[in-house]
Amino acid sequence: MNLIKLQNEALEACIDVQGGKVHRLLSRDLQVPVLHENPSGALFPMLPVANRVADNRFRLHDDEVILPNHNADERFFLHGDSWLKRWDLVNVTSDRCVLRLRSRLSCGYDYLAELHYQLENSTLKASLTITHLGERPMLYGCGFHPFFVFDAQSRVQFSASGYWPEDAQHLPLAWQAKIPGPANFAHAQFGEDAWLNVGYSGWSGKAVIQRDVMRITLLAQTPWLMLFRMSGGGFLCLEPQSHPVNAHNMPGQPGLQVLARGESCHFAMQIIVE
């Protein structure tokens, strides 16, 4: 079985071991979806890389690391490999489950990841722990990629200190402190029904989506948030990440962690439905 059903009095979730994804998240009181279902999954983990790395390579300790070719993208090791692999089910109860993934890649990534999904009252809690098992240290990053239902009656609000617009390859251009109106959600707005794929810094760690039938709060302890939407898509992706896009090639590699063998990193997110 690929699908695991979790539920409590407030929420129902369907977890897919293929990709470690949340296939569906539903408010049981309203019988209304919280997340937008699509072929990529309504929510999936990103590791050991979140988003894209320029030229699919970076330097670590004076060595060049060349990331592998990616079946889901022509140019990049997009979002890492975890969302494309089958996870092992370690434990499941009525309202929580634990998944595990062992991955070895020729570029030097060699890790064991543990993924927890839990329904607690009206909250979905998701957390990742990644342990490096390779002989040589390696650079890790991660995050979560939820697709929220978002229509013309929806509004989103979050604060940030600045943002990175994107180039033609969906990589960040120079950081800007002034965020243009359609990408500035300091005050709740719908924005524009158009392509937008940008990263924010100085995020407060909280974003609120107000829909006609529910209020959804996203929480994560990171200053970096990615936003993705497209015209007519009916969704809004708010992706908390441990690092900005292409941090691998930024000075100081912000937010990334070098893990020696046996060392771990952790990342967590909550989605509160009211």
The CATH number of the domain where 36 resides is what? 2.70.98.10
Which pLDDT tens digit goes with each residue over 81-113? 999 999 999 999 999 999 999 999 999 999 999
Going by the DSSP 8-state scheme, the letter that residue 176 receives in this structure is: B
Among candidate residues 198, 219, 200, the one with its CA nearest the CA of residue 208: 219
Domain count, the chain: 1
Question: Residue 182: pLDDT above 70?
Answer: yes
| Share of residues in the chain with pLDDT > 90 (%) | 96
Which pLDDT tens digit goes with each residue over 208-221? 999 999 999 999 99
- Specify burial of residue 252 (Cβ count, 10 A radius: 0-12, 13-18, 19+): exposed
Residue with tokens 């989605």: 271
Asked if 57 contacts 64 with a C-beta cutoff of 8 angstroms, the reply is yes
Residue with tokens 């999904």: 117
Q: Check residue 62 and give its pLDDT.
A: 87
Asked if 175 contacts 186 with a C-beta cutoff of 8 angstroms, the reply is no
Which pLDDT tens digit goes with each residue over 136-179? 999 999 999 999 999 999 999 999 999 999 999 999 999 999 99
Among candidate residues 240, 265, 253, the one with its CA nearest the CA of residue 65: 253
Q: Check residue 2 and give its pLDDT.
A: 87
Q: Can you spell out the DSSP letters for 106-138?
A: TTS-EEEEEEEEEEETTEEEEEEEEEE-SSS-E
Among candidate residues 263, 256, 253, 6, the one with its CA nearest the CA of residue 124: 6
Among candidate residues 239, 209, 211, 245, the one with its CA nearest the CA of residue 227: 239
Q: How far is CA 154 from CA 210, 215, 220, 235, 259, in A?
A: 6, 10, 21, 10, 40
The residues, ordered by sequence, that sit 6+ positions from 139 with a Cβ below 8 Å of its Cβ are 58, 60, 65, 248, 253, 256, 257, 258, 259
Please compute the mean of the pLDDT values over residues 188-211 and round it to a whole number: 98
Q: Check residue 214 and give its pLDDT.
A: 97
What's the whole-number average pLDDT of the chain? 97
The pLDDT-based confidence of 1 (bands split at 50, 70, 90) is low
Q: Check residue 230 and give its pLDDT.
A: 97
Tokens read off for 43: 């929510």
Q: Check residue 123 and give its pLDDT.
A: 98
Q: Which domain holds residue 151?
A: 3-273
Per the DSSP assignment, residues forming a β-bridge with 129 are: 114, 266
The pLDDT-based confidence of 260 (bands split at 50, 70, 90) is very high
Q: Check residue 179 and give its pLDDT.
A: 98
